[in-house]
Amino acid sequence: MNFDITHPEIHETVWRALEEDIGPGDITSEACVPPRRQAQGFFAARERLVVAGSELLPAIYQMRGGIEEVTISAPSGTWVDAGQQVAYVRGSARTLLECERVALNFLQRLSGVATSARRYVDAVAGTKCRILDTRKTTPGMRRLEKMAAAAGGITNHRMGLFDAVLIKNNHIAAAGGVHAALDRVRKTGLEIEIEVHSRAELEEALEWGAKRLLLDNLAPEEAAEWIRVIGGRAETELSGGITLENLRAYAETGADFLSCGAITHSAAAVDINFRLQLV
């Protein structure tokens, strides 16, 4: 998986993380570590996980003046077992120490998202259903978290409010109904998806040419019935109340997509540690 870190948003996120943690300087390292001391460090998994964000390491160290070597052993999307090395670094001991927490924060958080995503993907294996992420992300971390989710194997949904049309129930209310909402958004030229909450809204959306429907908060049995009624006239996405425990039941309804906010908003950080040695 290509974990592209060239986007300006990612550069700014990494820079802000370093500024937040180091500020005017790492007083502990500056006080107790000689300025010319060299060291090497090893990032290693302490549990089985899917790596994400290891490609950020060169950028992190570069923003603090650079180090002699950064070797990524496990690129984003790689399964690693407990004890397996994720990356190796060598350079100024002070630089390695002052970047340690920021590097681990990114690796642990993003690998947690990737590992969560892979569990969801594995749960629907053998069905036609694809798993989507959502906009339920950590503020300021969306691009990175969506890249991490993709590293785990899911399909990224819209990045924000600007790159796709998703008409939800409050849009329908504000626009004056399903027909009015669909009629007004056609001029965008973008892919249109609309949320429907009743069979009447479903039929109206199909009548006015909707090609992708979001069915929210239906039990698997209800979702399967609605999908039979749709009969392939539009793609279907299910959301609301979907968990790892019931994911398979929803995937077997015939839905094209399942969207799960928990992939990002409830992903637990995984256990990756850093060990430093003098050289």
Catalytic (active site) residue 211: no
Catalytic residue among 26, 195, 201, 204: 195
Cα–Cα distance measured from residue 94 to residue 90, given in angstroms and rounded to the nearest whole number: 11
Q: Are 193 and 212 in contact (CB under 8 A)?
A: yes
- Catalytic residue selected from 21, 37, 90, 101: 101
Catalytic residue among 183, 203, 216, 252: 216
3-state percent breakdown (helix, strand, coil) of the chain, nearest 5: 40, 20, 40
**101 an active-site residue?**
yes
Q: At what angle do helices 93-123 and 8-22 cross, to 10 degrees?
A: 130
**Catalytic pick among 37, 130, 168, 248:** 168
Q: Is 216 a catalytic residue?
A: yes
User: How far is residue 158's CA from residue 152's CA, in Å, rounded to a whole number?
Assistant: 17
> Is there a catalytic annotation at residue 158?
no
The active-site residue out of 37, 90, 135, 136 is: 136
Q: How many CB atoms lie within 10 A of CB 225?
A: 14
Helix (H, G, I), strand (E, B) or coil at 189: coil
Reduced to 3 states, what is the DSSP secondary structure of residue 182? helix
Residue 252 annotated to the active site: no
Q: The sheet that has 192-196: what strands, in order across it?
A: 130-132, 257-259, 235-239, 212-216, 192-196, 165-167
Q: What is the largest CA-CA distance in the chain?
A: 74
Q: Kindly list the catalytic residues.
A: 101, 136, 168, 195, 216
